[in-house]
Amino acid sequence: MAVLFKKIKNLEAQIDNYLDMVVKGGFLFKQGIKYFLEEQTEEFESRLINIDTTESDADNLRRKIERRLYTETLIPESRGDVLGLLEACDKVLNKTAETLHQFSVELPFILPEVKNYYLELTDISVSALEEMVAAVRSYFTDIIHVRDHINKVQLYESESDKIAEKIKRIVFRSNIHLSQKMHMRYFALHIESIADEAEDVCDRLSIAAVKRFI
């Protein structure tokens, strides 16, 4: 019996570590965008390397967790939901790394008057990601508060939509080349989609939480 509980504790720690990595990814993303907008290339590139490592470590850990959940036939009723949630969280982390890579590869031109909006959009999207992680943690330990976190994610997501729209309005009313307008719009969309992905995780989570008590 003691062995079983020890194993469980270890797996709990692995899930917590995984979620920590997702939060870390969000933090690195926020810093990366900030350094890009401030044109501190070295700092930006270092965050890019860090986020790649985090993403790859998170992938390995997620696979380990999934393997253990199946081989040790744990939580048979909720296993599918948990695996789905972890994979959905992984998509959000991948999105942060991918977006930062696109900044590095495409070096988009950003209008000085929308830089702050980009920072604000990044902040809000990362907040959605962090609240999503809190919701997932809550699913494991404090199910009655899952709803509170999900509501916050939804608020952040709708806020990110508004800021992205603001950016697009300013950009498309400015006197720059259409390709630059399209480029900025594209990057606003990418940052915004982090909050969208976080909301998708929460949609899945709200169903999983209800299923726990059917």
Partner 1 sequence: MIWFFLLSGIFLGWSLGANDTANIFGTAVGTRMIRFRTAAIVTAIFVVLGAVISGEGATHTLGKLGAVNAIAGSFTVALAAAVTVAWMTKLKLPVSTSQAIVGAIIGWNFFTGSPTDINTLVKIVTTWVICPLLAAAFAFVIYKFTMAVLPRSRVHLLQQDSYNRVGLLLVGAFGAYSLGANNIANVMGVFVPANPFTDLSFSTLFTLSGTQQLFLLGAIAIGVGVFTYSYRVMITVGNDLFKLTPVAALVVVLSESLVLFMFASKGLEQLLASYGLPTIPLVPVSSSQAVIGAIIGIVLAKGGRGINMKVLGKVSSGWITTPVIAAVISFIGLYFAQNVFEQKVVEPINETRIEIQYQNIQIDTLKNSIIDEFDLKEDIKIKNSTKMIP
Q: CA-to-CA distance for 103 and 202, rounded, in angstroms? A: 27
12 binds partner 1 per the rule CB under 8 A: yes
Distances 114 to 65, 73, 172, 207 between C-alpha atoms, Å: 41, 51, 11, 38
Q: CA-to-CA distance for 156 and 209, rounded, in angstroms? A: 21
- State both tokens at 96: 């942060």
- State both tokens at 74: 């744990």
Other beta carbons less than 10 A from residue 70's beta carbon: 12
Residue reference for tokens 């009723």: 77
For residues 201 and 86, the answer to whether their CB atoms sit within 8 Å is: no
Shortest Cβ 89–partner 1 spacing (Å): 15
107 binds partner 1 per the rule CB under 8 A: no
212 binds partner 1 per the rule CB under 8 A: yes
CB of 8 or CB of 207, closer to partner 1: 8
Site for partner 1 in 150-209 (CB under 8 A): none
Shortest Cβ 136–partner 1 spacing (Å): 11
Q: Which of 23, 28, 82, 201 binds partner 1 (CB under 8 A)?
A: 82
CB of 87 or CB of 142, closer to partner 1: 142
Q: Which of 111, 119, 143, 155 binds partner 1 (CB under 8 A)?
A: 143
For the chain, the straight-line distance linking the first and the last C-alpha, in angstroms and rounded, comes to 28
Tell me, what DSSP letter sits at residue 78? T
CB of 132 or CB of 146, closer to partner 1: 146
- State both tokens at 188: 């606003």
For residues 89 and 136, the answer to whether their CB atoms sit within 8 Å is: yes
Q: Which of 42, 71, 77, 105 binds partner 1 (CB under 8 A)?
A: 77
**Contact range with partner 1 by CB under 8 A, out of 19-27, 30-38, 106-114, 134-142:** 134-142
Q: Which of 39, 71, 76, 179 binds partner 1 (CB under 8 A)?
A: 76
CB of 162 or CB of 212, closer to partner 1: 212
- State both tokens at 118: 């980009």
Q: Which of 42, 71, 105, 214 binds partner 1 (CB under 8 A)?
A: 214
Chain residues binding partner 1 by CB under 8 A are 1, 4-5, 8, 11-12, 15, 73-78, 82, 139-144, 212-214
